[in-house]
Amino acid sequence: MNPMEMGLQSLVGGPAASLEQITAHVAQLLPLLDAIPNATIFIKDRQARYVLANRTLVQRCGLKRLQGLLGKTSAESFPEPMGPGYTEQDKRVLEQGLVLEDQLELHLYGSREPGWCLTHKRALVDHQGHIVGLAGISVDLHSASEAHPTYPRLAAVDHYIRTHFQRRVTLSELTQVAGISVAQLERYCKRVFHLTPRQMIQKVRLEHARGLLRSELPITEVALQCGYTDHSAFTRQFKLLTGFTPREYRGVVG
């Protein structure tokens, strides 16, 4: 379990008699959670409706008070089709007990513009093991840590990805560029860019795709130019990370 997952687990505690007890426990910490500007923190009920959220999330939903968010789903709180995508994700957690860790996706930043974040979600269970809700944290993706001693090597890796993302890029290639082992590459990329090498590739491809979808280029051609040989694979990946299908995204920004 990574530090963020440990923090989420300690925040909500272990199994409790009810969602109300969990919510009451976390509500005591809300003044502290409200002070975190770069993370949205929330608890939802079995129907994926908000029962608690920090100030950052409330403000990013365009509201002034928590009460305006309570009882609503993400689909009712965020712009389409971004909001419905979050609710679909919530339902998978609630119905399947799915645990999300370091899920790279688009979220709304404080400017109300889409920005990359890492999302963690897990189901909340009662004493009988029944799922009663979910808790989650979405943390804004920070800028690269340029002060880290390995930054020059990893900057070269980032440049290599941005130059060759139109084709399959392997870890072997990236380790040769950086001159370090696979384990070191994975570890240092997380420290410097806060992403795994695979997530770095996904992010570059999706950023490029978002730009191309503003043009009239056929979606199949967009997929090819972003390193996807399978149109359906591109659509699945794009929706997973942005909440939109490529066609939906084009309709929003077109």
DSSP per-residue string spanning 38-71: TEEEEEEETTS-EEEE-HHHHHHTT-SSGGGTTT
pLDDT on residue 242: 84
Tens-digit pLDDT profile for residues 97-117: 989 999 999 887 877 777 899
- Residue 183 has a CB neighbour count (10 Å cut-off) of 9
Determine the distance from the C-alpha atom of residue 219 to the mean position of all C-alpha atoms in its chain, rounded to a whole number: 24
Between 243 and 96, the higher pLDDT residue: 96
C-alpha to C-alpha distance for 142 and 113, rounded to whole angstroms: 15
Q: What is the pLDDT of residue 144?
A: 81
Q: Is the pLDDT assigned to residue 30 strictly greater than 60? A: yes
pLDDT bracket for residue 16 (50, 70, 90): low
Asked whether the beta carbons of 217 and 254 are under 8 A apart, the reply is no
Max Cα distance, the chain (Å): 54
Give whole-number Cα distances, 72 to 36, 68, 105, 143, 246, in Å: 22, 8, 21, 32, 27
Asked whether 157 and 185 are in contact (CB, 8 A), the reply is: yes
Lowest-pLDDT range of 116-125, 141-150, 217-226: 141-150
* DSSP state letter for 126: B
In this prediction the pTM is 0.80
Q: Can you tell me which residue has the tokens 């029944």? A: 130
Instruction: Out of 27-31, 118-122, 143-147, pick the least confident.
Output: 143-147
Q: How far is CA 186 from CA 6, 92, 114, 167, 207, in A?
A: 20, 28, 26, 20, 21
Reduced to 3 states, what is the DSSP secondary structure of residue 132?
strand
